[in-house]
Homo-oligomer: A and B are copies of this chain.
Amino acid sequence: MTGNTKAPSKFGVLLYPGFEPLDVFGPIEALQMLSREVKLDIAWIGPTLDPVSTVPKDIPMNTTGSQVATLVVPTHTYDNPPKDLEVLLVPGGIGTTGEAHALAGPVEFIKDIYPKLSYLITICTGAELAARSGVLDGKRATANKDTWKTTTALRPQVNWVRMARYVVDGNCWTSGGVSAGIDATLAWIAHIYGEEVARRGANFMEYEWRDDRNWDPFAYMFGDGVTI
């Protein structure tokens, strides 16, 4: 589809306090490689225009007292996203484990914008936010394997697929934990622009792309007695 002017080019990243760094910057790296070949825009969508931290204020990040926050500057807000957004990336992270009221902003944003999107891509527990919004109801989806029970219990209306690096159902692409977002995004790029473009990006990233969506040793690793 290279050269296809209808290929989506307007991307947005949903930022919220406590997003996981690699959930965001793995896919972003793949898109940045793609941006060498085709024009694309990435919007950073936060609650406000204030920098968004990977460490949320009201959730204990860890018990070690570590100071590991990354601060990323949004370009847009939930209330005022780009009007022509086509692809939304929803990262996971410790921030998704907050109280429902604290998640209302991101969840409502997904619910409101989904009908206008061409594609939704979730990474790790980003699927929890999408699931809470209802947009995954009746669809096949996957998520982080370590937190599988918690994630899937949140929304039984979703057809959760445990053994998967990533899952595609309609325009919803959902990936396993953290690093799996890189494979899902590369697969999405292959779907839209062809495998050659995706593989070139993976190679420049010196990344061993797992292009088999059923490859998932982590489903076994965090099996926890669950039948796969």
Contact = CB atoms under 8 A, between A and B. Distances in A.
A163 interface: no
B20 A35 contact: no
Nearest to A73: B71
Interface residues of A, number: 53
Contacts of A223: none
B73 A51 contact: yes
Contacts of A71: 44, 72-73
The majority secondary structure among interface residues of chain A is loop
Interface string A171-197: 000001111100000000000000000
A38 B221 CA distance: 23
A72 B53 CA distance: 10
A72 B72 CA distance: 5
Contacts of A31: 68
Complex copy number for this chain: 2
A26 interface: yes
A145 B70 CA distance: 28
B73 A144 contact: no
Contacts of A207: 178-179
A161 interface: no
Given A22-B29, A176-B206, A180-B206, 13 more contacts: A22-B205, A25-B25, A25-B70, A32-B54, A36-B64, A41-B66, A42-B68, A44-B70, A72-B72, A72-B73, A124-B206, A178-B206, A179-B205
